[in-house]
Amino acid sequence: MRTEVEFLSGIARGWTGRAHEVLDGHQAKARASARPASLHVRDVAPGRLLIRGAAEDAQTLRQVLGWLESRPEVQVATCQRGTGLVKVHYREASRFPGAFALRVRDFLFTLHQRPPRPFRVEVSHALPGRVRLQVRGLGDDDVLKLAAWAATLPGVHKASASPAIHSVVVSFDPEVLDARQLLTALCASEPSTWPAAPEPPRREWAATAFNSAVLAACVMRVAPLPVLTAGVALTSLPLAQRALQSVSERRLTVDLLDLVAVGVSLATGQVRTAALITSLLGVGDLLIERSADRARSAISRLMRLEVLYAWRLRADGDVEQVRADRLKEGDLIVVHSGESVPADGAVVSGTAWVDEKALTGESEPRVREAGDRVLAASVVGEGSLRVRVVRAGGETTASKILHILEGAGAKPMTLQAKVDKVANAVVLPTFGLAAATWLWARQAARPISILITDFGTGVRIVVPASALVSMTLAARQGILIKGAQYLERLAQADTVVFDKTGTLTLGAPEVVDVIPVRGWDAREVLALSAAAELRQSHPVAEAVRRHAQAQGLEVPQPEAGQEEFVLGRGVCAQVNGRRVCVGSARWIQQQGVDVAEAGQALVRAVAGEVATLWVTVDGALAGCIGYVETLRPESARVVQALKEDGRRRIVLLSGDSPARVAEVANRLGVDEAIAELLPEDKATHVRALRRQGRIVAMVGDGINDAPALALADVGISLRGATDVALETADVVLLRGSLDDLLLAFAAGRDTLVRVHTGLGLVLVPNAVAMVLAALGWLPPVAAAVVNNGSTVVAGFAALAPLLRQARAAQREESTRH
């Protein structure tokens, strides 16, 4: 028998003859069925066009006519079978003349070039005669169909699918087939040829059916008591495994309570009671698992961010279809109507409506044209774009968002830890209460009912489910929350600290004056400053460069590797052999530069009315640049909304001059404002607030205030979908709007409301049930119903908002198509 190494090396060496012939037949058949006719579009007149070649095969004709019928612009679409022409009458859009004809061409192009359903199959694990495959780009039903099709291949013994994890396991004869051939056949298969596959019986359903059969046998007493007892013992084996596992880990959990309850029932001859308990526990587990499945499906419907394929433009002008994860920075790609953008990039040419709802929560599509940025997973509506790739694969914004949502449980709430601790802590007292009740009443039913009634299962479901729902719904609104604990801190925050530049003000300052000192020319000072700031991304640096460009200045290149950037203070660079420094007055003075020669006139000209940058050349003052910042139109409204309930204190921290900071503070009504702060000073103030016992939310752009964002209980970035924001902040407002800050705080508040509601649905019924059980007024069967019923109701209540939105999104998608 071949070893695993020999088997894998055999895969690398190539194919075997017989299987080669058989599988080539499958692939040729699939390719032939997927190859549509040659299609051409001709404009006849405004509002009329002809499609030639659609009637050459029935499948293509159905696809073309079906697509045309779904378009709201189409008035009439008819087919002349004799000529093979499809005549289309449509309403022309006034804003984009010719857009519909372009959309038709795009559709026919993709119909001719693209596989009907792009999907990917990869080997995740291989052994001789057995391979586990990972399938991407297919829904649960299609994964089952693909497995059913794989089972029909020669040499395949069995193919089983796990739709929940998009996995297919295939067992085959290695003498007839190898993994490479199998993989190639699956990738080349045509979805329309896959057989319908009934959903396989799930393990949970099988266990529930067995439990029900045992229960029925116990109720009707169709077998001797020892046989029924053995049957109940078998149904409780999964429970016993979980309970013993927890004991081996030195933990007392609710599984141990349930196991003891079943054991006591069997020991006292109450077989029917034990059977009913295990049956109800099984039904409860099944319903919980089904609700989790529905939640996962809802998340996948709401956050469809994975794009598998792209159209890459080759150097010879032709396009080729490639996997999206094979794209690299600098590639030129084409995105047609109805397609998803496969990578983050910049538009080179073309105009199109682009829907970014899945990423930023924007309800309306936006027009994107040359120079605009587009994000992976956004959808092109009307039009077509050529895009230069900036980030691809796992580096795109969409990939990072998915990674964060997939790791939602990695940072659980503090409340969840407390609840888990309490739930585990009451296990021992529950045993004690059950024992005391037995000693007092000498009735087995009472302690059994008490043991069944626990709090742990429900509370462990409610808290993470509520957090996951809030994180997913927030992401749909363009708010990325990196963990459940940050939802909790948003709800509890009593102090909100704002940075000024780019946060409360618009991120595009404007230079209004350049004032040189004696012996310098204003244009020369501006050109040198722009050169020093050439590689800086701060909004003020961008303003200096924009002003130099507007003045038509030729900005020299700084010497590579000679820049020195001091966070929050300024930058020095070597320009044309001179050392040019641009920064705050405080930093310039710390370098020993005498600013007195600027004169009182210069000081008065810039004090209080504009913010300033000071410029030195070779250690001597050369001039000063004045710039203004415009407050965001929503800043005052957002600050007042945060203060409305009187619970939150608003603090403004800035590196700007005291006069300018005081002016902004007065206009916005903040409680405290501190000026002339360096980034480390802002971090010190945040640390001081936390030492006072305050829960601090820091709002900034993630650049100069990164230390303060890191030290705050929750750091919030308005930088949008940028690398620095995704890395440094706990909460990212992808649209870059302060209004979304209120939505983020509301998400935290709603999460705690859902958690407390869910905990009430679990704790109150079980507490009442425990009292009634101790008094002998609640039989074990009723206790099991109360316990499992409260858990299921609480779980569904926590997931209800997510399921509602998923249904709404599904209805919207079906209407659109």
As a whole number of angstroms, the distance between CA 482 and CA 646 comes to 28
SS3 259: helix
As a whole number of angstroms, the distance between CA 86 and CA 61 comes to 9
Q: Return the HEC string of 562-577.
A: CCEEECCCEEEEEECC
DSSP 618: T
N- to C-terminal Cα separation, the chain = 53
Task: Please enumerate in sequence order all residues whose Cβ is within 8 A of that of 423, keeping only pairs 6 or more positions apart, or say none.
Answer: 254, 454, 455, 456, 459, 460
DSSP output for 560-623: TT--EEETTTEEEEEETTEEEEEE-HHHHHHTT---GGGHHHHHHHHTTTSEEEEEEETTEEEE
Question: Where is 680: in which H helix or E strand?
Answer: helix 679-691
DSSP 340: B
Task: Give the position of tokens 């959808």.
Answer: 379
As a whole number of angstroms, the distance between CA 399 and CA 306 comes to 7
Task: Give the position of tokens 């908002």.
Answer: 801
Task: Give the position of tokens 């039904």.
Answer: 283
As a whole number of angstroms, the distance between CA 302 and CA 405 comes to 12
Which phi and psi angles does 778 have, rounded to 5°? -130, 110
Cα→Cα distances 581→488, 525, 526, 680, Å: 44, 11, 12, 21
Contact criterion met (CB below 8 Å) for 590 and 583: no
Contact criterion met (CB below 8 Å) for 682 and 705: yes
Question: Where is 81: in which H helix or E strand?
Answer: none
The strand pair at 611-617 and 620-628 is best described as antiparallel
Residue 187 is which amino acid? C
Question: Where is 19: in which H helix or E strand?
Answer: helix 17-34
As a whole number of angstroms, the distance between CA 628 and CA 664 comes to 12
As a whole number of angstroms, the distance between CA 202 and CA 72 comes to 42
Task: Please enumerate in sequence order all residues whose Cβ is within 8 A of that of 133, keeping only pairs 6 or more positions apart, or say none.
Answer: 121, 122, 123, 124, 167, 168, 169, 170, 183, 186
Closest among 202, 227, 219, 200 to 279, alpha carbons compared: 219
* Both tokens assigned to 10: 């055999």
Question: Residues 142, 499, 730, 740: which is the catalytic one?
Answer: 499
As a whole number of angstroms, the distance between CA 522 and CA 116 comes to 62
As a whole number of angstroms, the distance between CA 583 and CA 678 comes to 12
β-strand partners of 335: 385
Q: Say how many C-beta atoms besides its own lie within 10 A of residue 710's C-beta.
A: 15
As a whole number of angstroms, the distance between CA 259 and CA 579 comes to 78
499 is catalytic: yes
As a whole number of angstroms, the distance between CA 479 and CA 486 comes to 12
Catalytic residues: 499
